[in-house]
Structure 1
Amino acid sequence: MQVFSTFEYSSYIELAISELERKGIKKEEIFIVPLNNRMEDRRIFDSLHRADGVSLIDLGMALATAFSVIGASIGFKLSWGPIYWGLISAFIGFILGLGIKLFMFKVIKKNQRLLRGKHSEVILIVDCRTVDAEMVEQTLWKNLALGVSKVRSDKL
């Protein structure tokens, strides 16, 4: 039986491995795979086939609506009239909202991601007998595994 688990990169992996070795699992039956971190920055603009669920235009549309109402109201007193001033102020509100969202995602969210220090996970695979699978699973959970799964193999 194979037991798969994921860990954050920390000393708990070493503790789990040493505890498994003390309980009779050989070094040759333990396999560790560190995952690589993303090197390039995430794209901000979505394409037709890929979207990440983050909208850049929502604040721009809200500010465009608010600015157009105010601009149209003030436009009754100005020389170009309410329609032109409503469209001009809607455009200004949209650009302002888009600029605020871009600033938030490029500067503030990037700093939060760097401060949080989220590291890639490590995958730990343990090849063991079926009778030892429950003990291995409990050991991994006790050492703060993020997830654990058992896969039955035919050879054992």
Structure 2
Amino acid sequence: MQVFSTFEHSSFIEMAISTLEKKGIKKESIFILPLDNQTGERKLFDNIHLSDGTSFIDIGAALATAFSVIGASIGFKLRLGPIYWGLIGAAVGFLIGVGIRFFTEIVIKKRKRLLKGIHSEVIVIVDCEESQGEMVENIFFDHYALGVAKVKSRAPSS
């Protein structure tokens, strides 16, 4: 039987491995594979197939509404009238809001991502007897595994 598990980079992996060795699993039966981090920058704009849940127009829409109301109110006293000044206010508010969102995504959040140092996960594969599968799974969960899967080995065909 093979037991697959994923962990975050932490000392809990080492503790889980040492616990497995104390329970009789040989070092040769344990395989640890760290995943590579993404080397390039993440895309700023979403596409039709993938979205990260960040919207660039949310602040722009709110500011467009506020600025259009202010522009229309002031427009009664100005030359072009309330409709034109409401549209001008909406455009200005939208551009300011989108500019604020771009600034926060590009400058501030990039700095946080660099400081946070996001690491990828580690995959641990244990080859064990079927009777030990439940014990290995419990050890992984006790040491904060993100996920565990068991695969029963098939008997070799002759």
TM-score (structure 1 length as normaliser): 0.91
**Partner amino acid for 1:6?**
T
**Partner of 1:90 in structure 2?**
90
Report the aligned-residue RMSD: 1.6
How far is the alpha carbon of 1:87 from its aligned partner? 1.2
Deviation at 1:6, TM superposition (A): 0.9
**Number of matched residues?**
156
Aligned twin of 2:32: 32
Would you say 1:16 and 2:16 are equivalent positions?
yes
Letter of the 1:5 partner, please give it.
S
State the partner residue of 2:52. Answer: 52
**Distance (whole Å) between structure 2 residues aligned to residue 20 and residue 54 of structure 1:** 42
My pick for the range that moved more, 8-17 or 29-38, is 8-17
Between 52-61 and 109-118, the greater mean CA deviation after superposition: 109-118
Question: Aligned-pair distance for 1:54?
Answer: 1.3
CA distance in 2, matches of 1:155, 1:30: 21
C-alpha distance in 2 between matches for 1:139 and 1:46: 39
| Aligned-pair CA distance for 1:78 | 0.4
CA distance in 1, matches of 2:50, 2:139: 39
- Give structure 1 stretches of 5+ with no counterpart: none
Counterpart in the other structure of 1:77? 77
1:110 and 2:110 correspond:
yes
CA distance in 2, matches of 1:17, 1:47: 41
Distance 2:10 2:32 in 1: 13
Task: Find the residue that maps to 1:125 and give its secondary structure.
Answer: strand
| C-alpha distance 149-49 of structure 1, shift in aligned 2 (>3 A) | closer
Give the alignment's TM-score, normalised by structure 2. 0.90
**Partner residue in 1 for 2:101:** 101
Q: d(CA) in 2 for partners of 1:50 and 1:16?
A: 35
Residue 12 of structure 1 deviates from its aligned partner by 2.0
